[in-house]
């Protein structure tokens, strides 16, 4: 580990040592909070583990509601820690075919407009279930991010649910696919909210992004 790496790790721990809280849930763009600080958003298919990973990130099990029911997050949920120069955004899950068509369309419009128009959006973490790899709907979101020139980074979730051999295959396939996307950050983060794997590295990555925006 280099001195810079350790510095970022320490900064990441400090960034998430305060208590976080829900600022507001945003059903439409006119309700967005002031664009006065960097935002880190988490996107992914329904049930990919977004809420669990955010809870692990901030060390608060009850901050984001978790559910086994796909499509529960239907708005942009903004979280803040008073005194920290950062918003964390939990985006609605996508790829849930059983939701009403009108609801799916509304979610899609909200997410697309947010990705394309939010100037303070510093990075999107695109969460991919390690058991399944990148799906066509993930590719669609990646293309939207490419078009919007929003930097995004893949984070594999639930890596504790598969063996190392299968994980290596998913990692290789994921890296190969994101290499084709111009807005994709090349480093894939491997995480498990349940086992707290990769969470420290995720905090450090976010701390680096915040420092770059300062």
The per-residue pLDDT for 2 is 47
Res 104: pLDDT? 59
Task: Tell me: pLDDT of 31 over 70.
Answer: yes
Question: DSSP code of 91?
Answer: P
pLDDT mean over 122-130? 97
CB 204 within 8 A of CB 4: no
User: What is the pTM assigned to this prediction?
Assistant: 0.91
| pLDDT interval class at 49 (50, 70, 90) | very high
CATH class of the 3-213 domain in this structure? alpha beta
d(CA 46, CA 191): 17
Is the pLDDT at 137 greater than 90, yes or no?
A: no
pLDDT, tens digit, for every residue of 14-27? Answer: 999 999 999 999 98
| Structural domain spans, the chain | 3-213
Query: What pLDDT, on the 0 to 100 scale, is given for residue 92?
Result: 84
Q: Backbone phi, then psi, for 106, in 5-degree steps?
A: -65, -45
Instruction: Please give the angle made by the CA atoms of 14, 155 and 87, to the nearest 5 degrees.
Output: 45
């Amino acid at each position: 580990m280099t001195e810079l790496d350790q510095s970022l790790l320490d900064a990441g721990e400090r960034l998430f040592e305060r208590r976080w809280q829900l600022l507001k849930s945003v059903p439409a763009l006119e309700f967005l909070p002031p664009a006065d600080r960097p935002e880190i958003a988490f996107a992914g298919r329904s049930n990919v583990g977004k809420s669990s990973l955010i809870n692990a990130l901030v060390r608060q099990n009850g901050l984001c509601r978790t559910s086994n029911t796909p499509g529960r997050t239907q708005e942009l949920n903004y979280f803040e820690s008073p005194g920290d120069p950062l918003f964390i955004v939990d985006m609605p899950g996508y790829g849930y075919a059983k939701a009403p068509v009108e609801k799916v369309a509304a979610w899609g419009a909200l997410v697309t407009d947010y990705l394309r128009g939010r100037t303070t959006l510093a990075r999107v973490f695109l969460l991919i279930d390690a058991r399944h790899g990148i799906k066509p709907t993930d590719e669609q979101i990646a293309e939207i991010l490419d078009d919007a020139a929003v930097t995004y980074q893949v984070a594999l979730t639930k890596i504790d649910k598969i063996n190392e051999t299968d994980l290596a295959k998913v990692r290789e396939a994921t890296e190969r696919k994101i290499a084709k996307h111009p807005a994709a950050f090349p480093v894939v983060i491997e995480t498990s909210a349940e086992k707290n794997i990769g969470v420290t590295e995720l905090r450090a990555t976010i701390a680096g992004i915040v420092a770059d925006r300062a």
